[in-house]
Chains A and B, each alone.
Chain A
Amino acid sequence: MSEPDVYPSFPTEPETAEEAALYAWFTEQRIKSVDNLEGAARQIITLCTTLLGLLLGLLALTEDPLPAHLNWSGVQWLGGLGVAALLVALGGALWAVMPWRVEANLIDPEDLQAKFETLLARKRLGLQVAVVCFGAGMLFLGAIVVVTLALII
């Protein structure tokens, strides 16, 4: 008859209140991350559509011929890049909130976990693109304001 395996013993400690609270907080954040990502994406959609609408309105109401400082090719390039960046940001945000059919087996925890990860990865990618492009768009539009002011003054 073989002897039972003897494994090394290690002392254990109960979790501290802070460790337990941190674990609970991270677990909660993980589950809420899909809603948080969607909320951020909707915010970017609102900002992008408002800014693009504003720019379209400015283009429609602008006087003809354009003021001299707007005819400078640098301003036109910055404007074009800014609008393009905002459009890409809008696309990324829409990708993050786009309805997506997910077939999950509710009695299979591993399947639920895998589907959750897939869903999260898609929304995360869309929002990352949206945030970076929105930031770039803001930089371009901000540069227009600075350049225009410099040309006017």
Chain B
Amino acid sequence: MACSHTLIFDERLYDAQVLQKAAYRSINTLTVDIISEEGRFICVLSLNIGLDEPAFLSAIQEFKKDVLDYQLRHRLAVETQPIKNLILGLAFSKTGLISE
């Protein structure tokens, strides 16, 4: 029996990539179809074949948490990108740091 659930995300608050990552992460239990429409992302979650309803409810909850997590990761990554490059530059510089 196929289960399906729809979630709507405001485009101003969530990046498409974030939804895609959350969808990817849940690929073992769900498949997610994402459509963009009038400033909103519409996500249709379908349960993978062979899994039951409790698993579906659980997976939906996980998906929602994952969306929030990935959104936060995105913010963090953007903000720390420059300093990350600086640190890696230091790490690989020829003149610095202990060798061994």
A binds B: no
Where the two chains meet, the residues of B that have a C-beta atom closer than 8 Å to any C-beta of A are: none
